[in-house]
Amino acid sequence: MTVQDFTSAVLRLADEGIAGVEASRSAEELEALRTALLGRKSGRLTELMRQLPSLPPDARREAGAAINRAKTALEQALEARRAALAGNGGKQAAADLTMPARRTWQGAKHPVTLVIEEIVDIFRDLGFTVATGPEAELEWYNFGALNFPPDHPAMDMHDTLYLEGDVLLRTHTSPVQVRTLQTYPPPVRIVAPGNVYRRDFFDASHAPMFAQIEGLAIDEGTSFVDLKATLIHFARRFFGASKTRFRPSFFPFTEPSAEMDVECGICEGSGCAACKNTGWMEILGSGMVHPAVLEACGVDSERYSGWAFGMGPGRIAMVRHDIPDIRLLYDSDIRFLEQFVR
């Protein structure tokens, strides 16, 4: 064999080999090809290499270089093809790029929390501060200081959850008003949001625990005019209500007392299912703080007067979102709560 024959045989082998490598479809096929071309025992390039000694001594150097170039080219082609095949297979296993993106799960505020925050914001603009207090409360703060007569039915075991002795779960956030007046001298303007507890059945319209928000303003010379003006301003901002009305009511801790209604925003006063055909929605109870309450809290009732109100953010959320069952507010069902994400 001449050196020209040898080198052209090597080049042909390299060309055929590379074409075969590039056409291979799997790692197994590629490995078989590698053995056939470069295998140490019977690889085709190895066979050619064994013929090197039969060439004239001065041609061996050139022939050896041709062998080495072919070997390098084949090895590079094998490596490239192996990477390409592994890349395709790997891509399928790791990620399907046609899949829709996974949504980022975001937490959100509960509809009752949103109502509380909105109410607080409106009163904060009017100079009110948020005050909080304990949920496990002494009987005196919950009833005694608030002018409840000792035989008032609310104090019955059937209505109030007593813990031990004279400790109970507060039935309203009014004890926060008492504690605030004991701590800070007037003038005082606070809103007190928080959970309260009553011994109620858990049905469509009752829950043994619910949110309440109360407000209190104590100052020299403050009157029912301030109460009305402030609460009407609140109703306009919160409900967008054009009409409000006050109806006489009774609470032990206020005198006089009044319930405030806003015109039904759904039917605009003509009557619908949401307002039980009255055209009005009851939203809060209010009144002038009873002088006996001021005295119990250590406030001079000759010098100071004040007014207070209380409302249920849960009920407001139900009216606002047309929620038919109060239990939905406590179920923590993501499908329900997601509707209020904003």
Closest CB to Zn ion among 133 and 271? 271
Tokens representing 213?
A: 């928000």
Closest CB to Zn ion among 148 and 280? 280
Min CB(268)–Zn ion separation in Å = 8
The region, left, alpha or beta by phi > 0 then psi within -120 to 50, assigned to residue 227 is alpha
State how far the alpha carbon of 139 is from the alpha carbons of 12, 24, 165, 291, in Å.
103, 87, 9, 20
Give the helix ranges, DSSP H, for 95-173: 111-125, 139-142
Closest CB to Zn ion among 52 and 266? 266
Closest CB to Zn ion among 73 and 266? 266
Min CB(239)–Zn ion separation in Å = 12
Do residues 135 and 212 make contact, with C-beta atoms less than 8 angstroms apart?
no
Do residues 238 and 215 make contact, with C-beta atoms less than 8 angstroms apart?
no
Closest CB to Zn ion among 85 and 272? 272
Contact positions toward Zn ion, by CB under 5 A? 264, 266-267, 272, 274-275
Closest CB to Zn ion among 35 and 277? 277
In the numeric block, the tokens 């291979």 are attached to 24
Min CB(260)–Zn ion separation in Å = 16
Of 44, 16, 45, the closest CA to residue 24 belongs to 16
Min CB(277)–Zn ion separation in Å = 7
3-state SS, residue 273: coil
Edge-to-edge strand ranges of the sheet holding 188-197: 129-130, 188-197, 209-220, 304-311, 280-289, 254-263, 244-251
Min CB(116)–Zn ion separation in Å = 24
Closest CB to Zn ion among 39 and 279? 279
Do residues 105 and 337 make contact, with C-beta atoms less than 8 angstroms apart?
no
Min CB(236)–Zn ion separation in Å = 18
Residue in the shown chain whose Cβ atom is closest to Zn ion? 264
Helix 3-23, helix 57-94: angle, nearest 10: 0
Min CB(281)–Zn ion separation in Å = 7
